[in-house]
Structure 1
Amino acid sequence: MTNRPEGDARAARNERREAARQRAQRARTQQKRRQRGVRLGLQIGIGVVLLAAATIVTLVLVDSVKPAGPGPSTMSQGGITIGQDMKAVSGSAPASPSATASDGAGTVRITLYVDYLCPTCGQFEEANGDYIESLVDSGAATVDIHPVAILANRSQGTKYSLRAANAAACVAEHSPDRFYAVNKALFANQPEEGTAGLTDAELTKVVTGVSGLQDRRAIERCIADQDYSKWVDERTNAVAGGDIPGSSITEFPGTPLVLVNGQQYELTSPITNDDFRTFVVTAAGASEPTATPTATATPTPTASRTPSPSPTKR
């Protein structure tokens, strides 16, 4: 066996240790680089997430404070006025009429605040809609209709009240002379409170199915894009807070709110046309407004009226 000098063995060991040390150093350097890369990636990722979250929060805040924008040109105070021949009247309802104010010589002003999901509103429309139409069509009265969305949270999250009121506002803007007919159609197809209500497609079909409607495509786009939903929501909040144009009332009693020459009509149970006709006579000054008789017209009531218990308003 050949014996290597001791110095050569020591040198070989030193070389191996040095090589091992260099390998270990390279491994540590690579590990540090990987760790720095991971940290940098995490920092970038966190930064992106935070930036995205900040952007979303900013957009939500901006959207929440974004003005609702103007409502329909025919509803400057939240309601549309319908006059003789069922045509929209230029301008809007007066902000605060006196208790005996009328719209013109002997013309009765009827004001309605309605929610298209409100069952009591539907009952009032069924009992009195044709009667009001006969008065307005003949020129004996005008009617101001204010769609609100008091029951927006009573339709399984679909906000049917808001969507229906938006659809009505779309008609007020694009086909105002057919507003009353659309108002009747919405109540004729009224879903039950607590259900999901009509889909947008079904709602559009009801509205655009009304004969004589103008600019159907504009109305369809308006309904699909919810052009007036923010405005309806803003007006609903204002009304609920006591801003009630067409009335001296400062506390909203619920829907339907019915006014005749500024006087509030207290609903009866059941809701009847006879009782409402009597109230109209009283509010008009004990003189029956002259209107074209309808097939369901009842004899002219006297000016006296016996109060009846009011149903719970919604």
Structure 2
Amino acid sequence: MSNGGSNQPRPTRNEQREAAREKARELREEQKKRERRNKVLIQGGVIVAVLAVAALIGGLIFNSVKPAGPGPANMASDGILLTGVDGVITPTETPALAAGATPKPTVPDDSGTVANIVTYIDYLCPFCGQFDVTNADSIRTMVESGAATLEVHPIALLTNKSAGTQYSLRAANAAACVADTSPESFFDFNALLFENQPEETSVGLNNAELKSLAKEAGVSSLSTIEKCIDDTQFKKWVQDATTRALTEPVPNSELESITGTPTVLVNGKQYEGSLKDPAEFQSFVLQATGETFSESTSTPSPTPTPAP
């Protein structure tokens, strides 16, 4: 009879130890395989994450760095020239400055009967605000009557002084948008930007507020200008115009470059007087115009003829 026991001999202690070692070895090998699989998965996940972040950063850079494009129409000199007659201010129309093209300086009236006023301004610059608020009315009167022309160059020196919103650049771009599409409203829009000027280091006006000021200035094609403001359409042009102002000679003057804002010229002569006294600026305009008139009417002395 069978008693149900196994006929296999019982393993010895050495065999048991060897079996245990083999089992442990197999477990270690299996653990190493799992670790290798996990490492591959983790590395793959990291690579995917890095590629996703790189794609996101690339997209942001692509969207923030605008390719070179044409500048605004009516600002071929990097500024807009406003003239007037019979109480009406009229912009001088010029084609858009092509990407990479050199600006064409305005040919000033050198008759001595007209004051050629040129300003380089930053819409966040508090001193620019002081000058404009002080003198906007008298300049408007001079231009409307034909006694003066006004050429405004918006630049962006204080782009990093608005808590990260780049207000200086956005405001200059908005001015370029108006010059491009509704130049007849530029003088009023320019004045409104200074009347509503935010403080330096503040976030500045947002795009909705800039568009509201454009509407208040009575621009035509408001929807086009609103899109231009939202797209920062002339960002690259503003940056290039600012660089040119800071590094190149100022046309029709003896200045080697712009060193700060506001820079105000009358018939090529720089105004360095009070920013808060309209009478002082008007006096300077009359003096500069008078000097130009004297230069234009003076005749050289005849050259003596040698005696035979």
- Which of 167, 171, 184 is matched with 1:177 structurally? 184
User: Is 1:219 aligned to 2:225, yes or no?
Assistant: yes
Deviation of 1:103 after TM superposition, in Å, equals 6.4
* CA deviations over 1:134-171 (Å, ceiling 9, x no partner): 22222332211011122222223322222211111111
Give 3-state SS (helix, strand or coil) of 1:8's partner: coil
**Aligned counterparts, 1:182-201, within 5 A:** 182-201=189-208
Aligned to 2:27: 27
Runs of 5+ unmatched residues, structure 2? 96-102, 294-308
CA contact (8 A) 2:76 2:104 kept: no
CA contact (8 A) 2:82 2:92 kept: yes
Amino acid at match of 1:194: T
Identical-residue share of aligned pairs (%): 42
Shift of the 235–86 alpha-carbon distance from structure 1 to 2, 3 Å rule, reads same
Runs of 5+ unmatched residues, structure 1? 289-314
TM-score after normalising by structure 1: 0.75
User: Is 1:285 aligned to 2:290, yes or no?
Assistant: yes
Give 3-state SS (helix, strand or coil) of 2:8's partner: helix
Q: CA RMSD in A?
A: 3.6
Give 3-state SS (helix, strand or coil) of 2:9's partner: helix
Deviation of 1:175 after TM superposition, in Å, equals 0.7
Shift of the 152–243 alpha-carbon distance from structure 1 to 2, 3 Å rule, reads farther
CA contact (8 A) 1:162 1:229 kept: yes
Deviation of 1:90 after TM superposition, in Å, equals 2.0
- Which of 134, 140, 147 is matched with 2:147 structurally? 140
Find the aligned partners of 1:67 and 1:139 in 2 and give their Cα distance. Answer: 39
Aligned to 2:92: 89
CA contact (8 A) 2:83 2:148 kept: yes
Deviation of 1:185 after TM superposition, in Å, equals 1.0
Deviation of 1:86 after TM superposition, in Å, equals 1.5
Amino acid at match of 2:146: G
Q: Which 10-residue stretch deviates more, 36-45 or 60-69?
A: 60-69
Shift of the 140–190 alpha-carbon distance from structure 1 to 2, 3 Å rule, reads same
* CA deviations over 1:242-294 (Å, ceiling 9, x no partner): 453453311323111111122211122x5322222222222223589xxxxxx
Aligned to 1:42: 42
CA contact (8 A) 1:81 1:89 kept: yes
Aligned to 1:119: 126
- Which of 273, 281, 296 is matched with 1:276 structurally? 281
How many residue pairs get matched? 282
Shift of the 286–20 alpha-carbon distance from structure 1 to 2, 3 Å rule, reads closer
Aligned to 2:71: 71
Amino acid at match of 1:88: P
- Which of 236, 244, 253 is matched with 1:238 structurally? 244
